[in-house]
Structures are given as structure tokens and as C-alpha cells.
Amino acid sequence: MSDTLDPRHEALAEHLFKRACLVLGMPGFEMRPLRRRVRGKGKLRSYALGYTKLGEKLVTIDLYTPRTCQPRKHDAILRVICHELAHHQAPPRLFRHWLRFVRVIHHPLFWTQVKKNVELLKKDEVLGQYFCDK
């Protein structure tokens, strides 16, 4: 299986990512497609949709389904982009639980930020057409 499965799909996803960064006011971020060593074969199928590191402006997104290698819908890709960029907008919080501190990554304010990001992208004239529910 080749490294790039569908170059047109990846180019469109890159365009959607750049437009989403422009709409959300987060310049300088870079998107990289998630490459799997074993795609669609064996037991090693990861279901992670994307990840990011808080210190870097790099977002890695899975553009294909893990088992069948079909391109993901643009709606799903845009929602993953909103989720990963919200990690930079609402960073993890430290909460005290009994005698220790617990780092909570997906706290309630984070999910509020994700919903705001999705609503902003739905209102955009270019990205709004890719969402299923209008």
C-alpha cells in the first residue's frame, strides 16, 4: 500500500485545515496526516482520530478509516480539527483529588470550546457546506 492513498483527499483536508485555522484565529499551525504502519491488517488497528502536542503547533489527523482505508467524511475531519485546536485554546487543568493533583485534559470548559469552534465553522461560507447538519 502506498504512503499517500488519495492525494486529492489529503490536499482538500489541508485546505480545510488552513481555512479552519483562519476562521478560528489560530495562525501558524501545521497539519500532518496520520500514517499507520499496519493499516487494515492484523490486530494493531488504532482508533485515534488525531493528536497534538501543546508545545508545538503541529496537529496530526487521521484522514482514512483504520480498517477499510476509505477517506473520512469532511464533516468528521472538521470536527477532529476543532477538537485538536481546542486543546491549544483551553489547555489541560490541574485539579486536586484527595491528596494528589490530577491533570484533566477533557474538562467541561474544553468541551464548551469545541462546541464554539464547530459553530464558528458552521457559520463560515466555505466550511459550512461540508457539515451534514445545518
CATH homologous superfamily, domain 7-130: Metalloproteases ("zincins"), catalytic domain (3.30.2010.10)
Which pLDDT value is given to residue 111? 96
Q: Three-state secondary structure along the chain?
A: CCCCCCHHHHHHHHHHHHHHHHHHCCCCCEEEECCCCCCCCCCCCCCCCEEECCCCCEEEECCECCCCCCECCHHHHHHHHHHHHHHHHCCCEEEEECCEEEEECCCHHHHHHHHHHHHHHHHCCCCHHHCCCC
Q: What is the pLDDT of residues 38-62, one digit of tens each?
A: 655 555 556 788 999 989 999 999 9
Q: What average pLDDT does range 102-113 have in this prediction?
A: 94
| pTM strictly above 0.85 | yes
Residue spans of the domains in the chain: they are 7-130
